[in-house]
Structure 1
């Protein structure tokens, strides 16, 4: 399975509508891939809190519609990153979308762990409460968003639900870049799965983004990693490697503590 991670640079001088159009074209350019992954909150910027309310949209709003067309045109599975969703009751969520090669909405995931320590996202958005997996022809994706990466129990839950590849859409700050790489590798090693961590570039509301998106194999080896700016990583994933790793080193079978 060929996967492409598009590390998007959010420039505050670029309108949301212009960025949607530009990103849709970037997705269309990945037609040779099977799976394309976008970062967290790339429409507004992960730390542009003042825009969350004004740029919020319903699940079937312009972001979903434009990404659905791009997925269909490219013929790819598209993890469209996340956007600010306004639910029917007015609540805001940090919501990820997965679209099929036909442009159909295959899954949504509302971010469970909100970042901010009682400010920012943590107070502006409501938490999700459901683990989400998506069955692709050769892999089952487990969905996580940014701060979720610090909570290994979420990933163990996804493993128990059948996930073999974890997709982490993020807007991770540059000042914690070392944690980004370390935690992505740790989740891959402890859950014996691929981890596709796709981050933002640029600066949002004065917060420099880490970039450095990466793909990690089930042994914790980094197969590819981007730099700090806008970039595209394309990696071939071996569909059988997860099962092979879990058979060669069956640590997951020795788990004793389960919820």
Structure 2
């Protein structure tokens, strides 16, 4: 199976519409891949909080239409990163996943919002549903950026059958070491592939880490991008998940429902 991670540069001097068109062209160039992945909030920038209200769009808005067409034109499964979705009076950080015929296969609203008492954490609503999608060769589990710090979310995705964990992100350079460490940890503990796609560039004064990464079920890094805009292409064998879980059946030894200390 071939995956292409498009580590797009979110340049504040490039308009959202221009970047939307450019992203569509980059997706079309990946015809021949099975799965193409874009980062978190690439249309506006994950830290560009002041633009969220103005650039929010309905689920089936201009980014949806552009990415649906790109997926269909390229004939790929497209994880189109995420958008600022407006639903009524609430904003969400929402992932869109398209099938090769351009149909929406799944959406996912980010559960863990970053910012503590500011930014995304107070401006956006929280998602409430886990999201998995069965592809012909693997089952994807969807997560977004700050979700990566919460292992219980990924274990729940694995319990739902996820074998390939896809993470879109706008991760800051100052915490890049956490990015690679956590991606490998989530792969090892769930004996699954992790495909983690981040943005490049600097927006809202926050330098992005780039370094999109693909990790196998043993925690080995199969490919890693640099800091700038780049398309990371990697071939991986989905069957390795089942083999790993059979050869080293650690997940069977989980102990659940432990009682608190007396």
Shorter-chain TM range is over 0.9
SS in 2 for 1:81: strand
The equivalences for 1:159-238 within 5 A come to: 159-238=158-237
The equivalences for 1:24-173 within 5 A come to: 24-87=24-87, 89-173=88-172
Unaligned runs of 5+ in 2: none
Unaligned runs of 5+ in 1: none
1:187-210 CA-to-partner distances (Å, cap 9, x unmatched) read: 000000000000000111100000
Structure 1 CA distance for aligned equivalents of residues 255 and 203 of structure 2: 43
SS in 2 for 1:10: coil
Question: Which residue of structure 1 lines up, in the alignment, with residue 11 of structure 2?
Answer: 11
Using the size of structure 2 for normalisation, the TM-score is: 0.98
Structure 1 CA distance for aligned equivalents of residues 168 and 144 of structure 2: 5
Structure 2 CA distance for aligned equivalents of residues 168 and 18 of structure 1: 24
C-alpha displacement of 1:63:
0.3
Structure 1 CA distance for aligned equivalents of residues 250 and 43 of structure 2: 40
C-alpha displacement of 1:232:
0.5
Question: Which residue of structure 2 lines up, in the alignment, with residue 252 of structure 1?
Answer: 251
Structure 2 CA distance for aligned equivalents of residues 257 and 187 of structure 1: 19
C-alpha displacement of 1:258:
5.6
Cα distance change of structure 1 residues 258 and 238 upon mapping to structure 2, 3 Å threshold: farther
Using the size of structure 1 for normalisation, the TM-score is: 0.99
SS in 1 for 2:201: strand
Q: For the aligned residues, what is the CA RMSD?
A: 0.8
Q: How many residues align?
A: 258
1:151-210 CA-to-partner distances (Å, cap 9, x unmatched) read: 000000000100000000000000000000000000000000000000000111100000
